[in-house]
Structure 1
């Protein structure tokens, strides 16, 4: 066993390039694990910079300088964000407030419906089973309400931090876009000379990350807008809020769609009861999810994602447990990074074998 481990270590890490790649990986993981909260503004700025780099490059091709193109794109982006904030956020906040106020009524209606199930289906379910379910749901609702209240109270102290982020992040994005070449060269100069595998992994991941971020933003917008329109046509209450939740649910592959099904089904059942309109809402919601998974995702992420769904789910669970929201958001790129690392070390092994044979 020891000889096997020794031969594996020699085969994988005898080359300085492999050791450099491993040390860089460990350093980056430790940095994000221990100081993740401190680098969030930088991480957000990198995401936005990746998103805006494409229009900046297109404007450069039209003849604008890098600084002018960056300034123009930043003005358009900030104007768009402010417009969406002023136009959409108040509506979403109002619908969220109304939904929270009506939640107790929805819970009571669901409780009433559950308690009458033994009368309608006595051979399938009994009263004791229903009482257990009702008590569990009530306990979870109370626990959730306490968590929301505690989060809202503790988040008050973070208002100043968010205000600072609103100033720092646009500045970071502007200079990342404007000085992209200089910043890249500075990072390259810091890296050790034995960086051939690091360069290989970076070139493999750079375009994938750009395609993933751009595709994910487009996916959120398309799914969200389609859901809002569909829910509005069906006259479902809180259409804007539920449609926004459906759009944001694509951030968590597979799991997000299952979680958002609960509020959509609850609101539809509270409004329509177990009638034809309720099932229409559920069917339309299922069609949107099916089109997203089978049509939209392959179109948007054909160049960014080449992973089995099992690996994607494991990546969401693992990286989400490590880094929360950002771990979930970057679960697919991080899984692709793991794949690129394995490819790099495999390539190194094949190169060593070929050199020995020659």
Structure 2
């Protein structure tokens, strides 16, 4: 009698189950340990570099601005280090004469502004009371809303925040005055050499693509930064000149504020015109000079000079971002780094776009060595 073969056992033995349990436990423990270590390392890295982000960023901006001047002086067969020191000396000399010429005027304007600030605040409260009365007469639903009190509360919170941040800001400015020129010096002297060393680490089959990508990104970012700085300077000068034709005070301060805030796309110009319009409304009333100031801010500076002349020539051909992406970059940058993030959000988005487009163009134009063609395969 032939016995049928024994069927293989289904399921796992106790030893196999125990082994799988031990392996899974070890894998989970190892993963948790790696995650905890990585989180600790990232936290330590962020703590160690928290005060270096702004100096490095400003140093990179200064490097893009000063590199053409250094390269121009270097053509005279002068060592690059000597050229950098020459540029630093010229900048220090220019700042010295500018400070001696502007200091008395700025001190007088700041003193007058401190004296007039209570008057501006009281007139603003009066305007808010009138606006609240008109709104409550038309919309009874907001009868119990205290608009002047809410505005006063926001102003007090803003001033308190300024007072709290003033010592920290002074410390940061001192740090920037030391680290900014130091980092800029090394970026100007060794920046190209350092980037060539990093690109040299790229595998040979991707070397040309990495080199072209670095070249296009650095060139377009240099044009973008120089264009934005020049745009802000021109807008500030236009606003200062336009306000100087009226009886409004503090035209240089208002022009400087309008130029700086113009660095933030879309939102910055609106913020930059608010102080000038409020001061004109308080000091000049709703007369012809007030409407001229509105024309200077809105029509002359933003529509004609900025949108029709500066942006098409200096900015559009470099960034060329859709307005939706610009708004998203501003919002995300503001969430991460505040006002500074709103300013650098657009350049970072431009870098990402350039990297994607250049990589796509390279892959379409050239065949990467990693892609093996059918006709290149050896025949049997």
- Secondary structure at the aligned position of 2:178 is classed as helix
TM-score by length of 1: 0.78
Query: Is the 1:117–1:125 Cα contact (8 Å) retained in structure 2?
Result: no
TM-score by length of 2: 0.74
Distance 1:192 1:354 in 2: 15
Distance 2:141 2:96 in 1: 53
Tell me, yes or no, if structure 1 residue 301 matches structure 2 residue 312: no
Distance 1:154 1:186 in 2: 37
Greater mean deviation of Cα atoms: 127-136 or 220-229: 127-136
- Secondary structure at the aligned position of 1:149 is classed as helix
1:185–1:117: structure 2 CA closer, same or farther, 3 Å change rule?
closer
Aligned to 1:221: 233
Aligned to 2:324: 310
1:246-285 matched pairs, under 5 angstroms: 246-285=258-297
Distance 1:65 1:303 in 2: 34
Aligned to 1:176: 187
Aligned to 1:242: 254
Distance 1:140 1:303 in 2: 40
Q: Deviations over 1:164-212 (max 9, x none)?
A: 5423432332333234443333333455665555434322211011111
Tell me, yes or no, if structure 1 residue 167 matches structure 2 residue 178: yes
1:3-22 matched pairs, under 5 angstroms: none
Distance 2:311 2:124 in 1: 35
1:54 deviates by: 0.7
Equivalent of 1:44, from 37, 52, 58? 58
1:69 deviates by: 2.8
Distance 1:166 1:219 in 2: 24
Aligned to 2:30: none
Aligned to 2:302: 289
More relative contact order, 1 or 2 (CA 8 Å, 6+ apart): 1
1:311 deviates by: 1.4
Query: Is the 1:201–1:344 Cα contact (8 Å) retained in structure 2?
Result: yes
- The structure with the larger Rg is 2
1:270 deviates by: 1.0
Tell me, yes or no, if structure 1 residue 142 matches structure 2 residue 156: yes
Distance 2:243 2:57 in 1: 34
1:17-36 matched pairs, under 5 angstroms: 35-36=49-50
Structure 1: segments with no counterpart, 5+ residues: 1-27
1:334 deviates by: 0.6
Greater mean deviation of Cα atoms: 222-231 or 241-250: 222-231
1:165–1:107: structure 2 CA closer, same or farther, 3 Å change rule?
closer
Structure 2: segments with no counterpart, 5+ residues: 1-41, 376-380
1:40 deviates by: 2.9
